[in-house]
Chains A and B, each alone.
Chain A
Amino acid sequence: MSAVLSADGAPGDALQKSEGVWHAAWRRFKADRVGLVSLVIVLGFLGLIVLSALGLVASQWQDEVGVANAPPTFMGPAAAESTAAIEVPKGPNVDLSDVDPLAPRYKEWDERAKQFATTETVKAETLPFGGDRLGRDVLAKAVKGTEISVFVGVMAALCATLIGTGLGAFGGFFGGKVGDFLEWVYNVFESIPNILLIFAFAAVVGRGVESVVVILALTGWTGMYRQVRAEFIKHRSREYVRSAEAIGASVGSRMFRHILPNVSHVILVRMSLLAVGFIKAEVILSYLGLGVRVDQVSWGTMLAEAQSELILGHWWQLAAATLFMAVFVTAFSLMADAWRDALDPKLRGLE
């Protein structure tokens, strides 16, 4: 990719330099309205993540700012619980101090209690998007959850892409013994049910954001490997690679300077699809209790909590997590589709 992006030309060439493949792709992308809207949404999310990572937004998500299970503002405060008061018995109070063994100490305890100031924090009756069972702001949680979920999805996709592309490139370009060995590794990974593999890794690596990234990357590279391998097999005998060999280009240069930019569109699109898949996988992992740590929040942990809340009719945590996830994942998928259309060189003949 860098070979093209850093395309050089003499200073005087600026005017003559014509539109590169990536410029053309961007021009086509801009013409796609759906793609453009989804790109804006994705960029908005990324901005949110940066802000939250810098601590500018939702850094106080752990504070219990509302009453437990505070409903969203637009619904108004929850109706006061109409607990039927126990009927007060009639007749005078009975003095129990004679039989109460603690009676002599009540006075002392009252004295001691006066030494400490007690402040009664006013907890909000309602929160913008409701509160969880501890009274934490669901909106703040969802924003913080975005940070972790998207980070996990994108990082895992990057790592899986790196593994898959590297192995696929070697397997496809060299073939023979190397290819056979890599195929064997691939088959071993593919033959184990995916969720089992994830559990196995999770049991070994332990919990935490980094672990989730590692687990997903180690289990999710196979599809990328398969596709990149096929592309390399196709391209390695193309004449432009042959002519590069004829002028003496090294193996590395042929693999990564010549072939890689020509298959980069495949990798890019596959990577964005992987990111979407991994975001969903993280949700499942956290839901099953194998995901992020307890003191962190992700869309998955929110959904896991929502399970018990839903029985009590507190639907807002579920709604917030679902809404965030649905919007981001949909926008990301549509963006990936638009990129694929813009980058696919097969459509270039139409210009």
Chain B
Amino acid sequence: MTMLLSIQDLQVAFRMGKGVRAEAVRGVSFDIPENTTVALVGESGSGKSVTAMSVLNLLPDNAERLGRILWQGRDLLQAALPELQALRGKEIACVFQDPMSSLNPVFDVGQQLTEPLMKHLGLSRRQALTRAEELLGEVGIPEPKRRLESYPHEMSGGQQQRVMIAMALSCEPRLLIADEPTTALDVTIQRQILELLGKLKTRHRMSVLFISHDLGLVGEIADQVVVMRNGIIREQGPVARIFESPQDDYTRALLACRPSLEGNPARLMVIDDHIAASVRAAQGHAALAAAAAEAKDPDAPVVLEVRSLAKSFWLKQGLFGKREFKAVQGVDFQLRKGHTLGVVGESGSGKTTMGLTLLRLHEPTGGEVIFDGQNLLKLGDRERQLMRRRIQIVFQNPYASLNPRFTIGQTLLEPMVIHGIGKDTAEREQRARTLLEKVGLDGRAFGKYPHEFSGGQRQRVAIARCLTLNPEVLVLDEAVSALDVSVQAQVLNLLKDLQDEFGLAYVFISHDLAVVRFISDEVLVMKDGVVVEQASAAQILAAPREDYTKRLLAAIPRGYRPAAA
């Protein structure tokens, strides 16, 4: 088998001014054979995207590259720009993470598809349009002829990504670089895109360089896996060996820290635990064994009861007309102290709107939210302010949910000042520091600003802010979705610990069934604003009743399975 692309001792550094250089990739070597899918796996900051982007030199101007990148024997690092431009799109094509921002919103799909065809293959406009229609059909877009005239915003995220793939395929490339192509998409759509990529790979006999942070996903699609961390390769090999007998501690930790659908440990392994454990094991001590989850008291008092909650938005239609859009309708559930209710659904299913409505961050259109015997939706301003203390929310994006101009200390003190918790500043500060330690940050964080922290640390601060008020119910709106797998595991463990310690009740909103399964006692499955299924977490996984739930479950990447290979 000949090597299509061979990366040899690649080093990439970014000049940061004043002689400072940030090394992103430090000596990476791997090969991509013909007709093979190679997956590059790692957490954010591991240098996986930088490695892939240096192949076509799509890096910013301040990047310096060393080493060799051989494309069919030719060194691309020495290649002049015109030579690279001839390769880009024609022999090596790219698909990026966010289809929404990769497509030009002011051109219709036909124009964007025909451009590379006319440029690289020299087709006439008419030939190019015919070919574009074929391509759209090939990537599974219904009514391709009509779709040629639609604009990107008229398509769903999955369809946009299909268009991106069609564009990448248009010149029959030998190598497709897919940089987290499914991360921004729902699980069911992700499944379709993966299947599409697999099919196209065999049909066109091309190679794929697949970049992802999700080992589960990679296990399903890749032939070869390269695991990266901090700019170096930790391990590489055929997918079966990586999954069945991983050699490197880090790979093993990555495999372990992802909640799975089979078996439910009380805690997730985190990377440091794992590495520490294997060190201990090597020294002759017993490794940590994951204990099974303890059963919770099924008769705990009900803290939150929701009856036929509904929220509608009014969309303008025509000059004076209005159309009702029912974002949430008829949601009922009971939440017991110390329990977790998982809410799953795809984007647009109304799960976030439901969470915001619980706190009255959106005014609901109907229904009741009974909290401690009082209907939250009927409270006056003062009682509502008191209730705010007892039901709190953590948002998805830790980069957006902290005020960038507040120090962590100010962020934590503010709710206590508003609600008059603690006698004076000294006492409040004391409390804030205790809580910081409780969520796993040290007191030094107090005077720092949010931009000095990583995503996981920021999410811990957001959780600490909620805890300052001693809430009884915490709404977690995709609280771990934006985090790396290993950080996700840490935050999930933290949430479990806090629940055990304070008896918190969680409403855990997520699109990720595996995570929901790990943390929830009961699960609501939502679709188009309606609850389609409601059952205990174990039951939903073991015996889903609804087709929709079954489809969601089937779409979850399960990692490498020999039978599937």
Given A13-B447, A246-B393, A247-B469, A18 and B418 contact (CB-CB distance below 8 Å): no
A293 at the interface (CB under 8 A from B): no
A21 to B407, CA, bound (A): 10
Complex CA distance for A7 and B403, rounded to whole angstroms: 14
Question: A248, B418: Cβ atoms under 8 Å?
Answer: yes
Contact indicator per residue, chain B 368-399, by CB within 8 Å of chain A (1) or not (0): 00000000000000000100110011011100
List A contacts of B542 (CB < 8 A): none
> Are B404 and A249 closer than 8 Å at their CB atoms?
no
The interface-forming segment of A186-194, A204-212, A217-225, A236-244 is A236-244
Of the candidates A10, A17, A248, A261, the one having the most CB atoms from chain B within 10 angstroms of its own CB is A248
Mask: chain B, 268-297; 1 = CB below 8 Å from A; 0 = not: 000000000000000000000000000000
Give chain A residues whose Cβ lies under 8 Å from the Cβ of B429. Answer: 10
Minimal beta-carbon separation of B405 from chain A (angstroms): 4
Contact partner of B402 among A3, A13, A240, A247, CB < 8 A? A240
Band of interface residues on A: 20 to 34
B403 contacts A18, C-beta separation under 8 Å:
no
Which of B1-9, B113-121, B409-417 is the contact stretch? B409-417
Among residues 1 to 45 in chain A, which have CB atoms less than 8 Å away from a CB atom of chain B? 3-4, 7-10, 13, 16-21
Are A248's CB and B385's CB within 8 A?
yes
A262, CB-defined interface residue at 8 Å: yes
Residues of B within 8 A of A250 (CB): 418
Binary contact readout B443-476 vs A (1 if CB under 8 angstroms, 0 otherwise): 0101111011000000000100110010000000
Find chain A residues with CB under 8 A from B465 CB.
243, 247
Is B405's CB under 8 angstroms from A262's CB?
A: yes
CA distance A16 to B397 in the complex (A): 27
* B400 and A240 form a contact (CB under 8 A): yes
B361:A246 contact, CB within 8 angstroms? yes
A76 at the interface (CB under 8 A from B): no
**CB-defined interface of B417-455 with A at 8 Å, one 1/0 digit per residue?**
011000001100100000000000000101111011000
| Structural contact, A248 and B389, CB atoms closer than 8 A | yes
Determine how close the nearest CB of chain B comes to the CB of A145; give it in whole angstroms: 39
- Chain A nearest Cβ from B454, distance in angstroms: 14
B542-554 interface bits toward A, Cβ cutoff 8 Å, 1 = contact, 0 = none: 0000000000000
* Residue B325 is within 8 A (CB to CB) of chain A in the complex: no
A289 within 8 A of B: no
B395 close to A243 (CB less than 8 A): yes
Q: Cβ of B406 < 8 Å from any Cβ of A?
A: yes
What's the least CB distance linking B384 to chain A, in Å? 9
Closest Cβ of chain A: how far from B365's Cβ, in Å? 17
Q: Which of B17, B393, B407, B449 sits near A243, CB closer than 8 Å?
A: B393
- B402, A20: Cβ atoms closer than 8 Å: no
B residues within 8 A CB of A17?
Answer: 407, 447
Closest to B397 in A: A239
Q: Which of A16, A21, A239, A244 has the most CB of B within 10 A?
A: A239
**A113 to nearest B CB, angstroms?**
77
Residues of A close to B388: CB separation below 8 A: 246-248
Bound-state Cα–Cα, A9 to B359, Å: 31
Q: Is A258 located at the chain interface by the 8 A CB criterion?
A: yes
Cα-based distance from A18 to B408 in the complex (angstroms): 11
Which label, helix, strand, loop or mixed, suits the secondary structure of the A interface? helix
Query: Separation in Å of the A25 CB from the closest CB of chain B?
Result: 11
A348 within 8 A of partner (CB):
yes
Contacting pair A258 B403 (CB below 8 A): yes
**Is A21 in contact with B405, judged by CB distance below 8 angstroms?**
yes
Closest to A261 in B: B405
A245 at the interface (CB under 8 A from B): yes
Query: Which B residues lie within 8 Å of A9 (CB)?
Result: 407, 409, 446-447
B315 within 8 A of A: no
In the complex, what's the smallest C-beta–C-beta distance from A150 to chain B, in angstroms?
30
CB distance from A108 to the nearest CB of B (A): 85
Determine whether A99 belongs to the interface, using a CB cutoff of 8 Å to chain B. no
Given A21-B404, A245-B361, answer yes or no on A16-B415 (Cβ-Cβ < 8 Å).
Answer: no
Give, as a whole number of angstroms, the nearest-CB distance from A51 to chain B. Answer: 36
Q: Mark A229-272, 1 if CB is under 8 A from B, else 0.
A: 00000000011101111111110010000100110000000000
> Is A345 engaged at the interface, CB distance under 8 Å to the other chain?
yes
Docked pose: A261 CA to B392 CA in angstroms: 25
| Known A7-B410, A9-B409, A350-B16: A244·B403 in contact at CB below 8 Å | yes
**Residues of chain A contacted by B419 (CB below 8 angstroms):** 247-248
Task: State in angstroms the CA–CA spacing of A261 and B404 once bound together.
Answer: 9
Q: Which of A48-72 contact B (CB under 8 A)?
A: none
A253 to B446, CA, bound (A): 21
- A19 to chain B: closest residue by CB: B449
CA distance A198 to B136 in the complex (A): 60
* B401 at the binding interface (Cβ < 8 Å): yes
Task: Return chain A residues, CB-CB under 8 Å to B406.
Answer: 3-4, 258
CA distance A253 to B417 in the complex (A): 12
Say how far A263's CB is from chain B's closest CB, in angstroms: 10
* CB <8 Å contact, B449 and A20: yes
The answer to whether A21 and B449 touch across the interface, beta carbons within 8 angstroms, is: yes
Q: For residue A238, which residues in chain B have a CB less than 8 angstroms away from its CB?
A: 400
Tell me the complex Cα distance, A7–B410, Å. 8
Please name the residue on chain A nearest to B433 by beta carbon.
Answer: A10
Tell me, in angstroms, the Cα distance from A249 to B388 when the chains sit together: 10
Give the nearest-CB partner of B386 in chain A: A248
Residue of B395, B396, B425 with most partner-chain A CB within 10 A: B395
B460 to chain A minimum Cβ distance, whole angstroms, is 14
Q: Is the CB of B400 within 8 A of A247?
A: no
A246 to B418, CA, bound (A): 12
Contact A18 B401 (CB under 8 A): no
Given A247-B414, A250-B418, output 4 extra A-B contacts at Cβ < 8 Å.
Answer: A4-B406, A16-B448, A242-B356, A246-B359
Residue pairs across A and B with Cβ atoms less than 8 A apart, 9 shown, are A8-B409, A8-B410, A9-B407, A9-B409, A239-B397, A243-B402, A244-B403, A247-B388, A350-B17
Enumerate chain B interface residues (CB-CB to A < 8 A): 16-17, 356, 359, 361, 385, 388-389, 392-393, 395-397, 400-407, 409-410, 414-415, 418-419, 425-426, 429, 444, 446-449, 451-452, 462, 465-466, 469
4 shortest interchain CB distances as A-B pairs: A247-B415, A17-B447, A239-B401, A248-B388
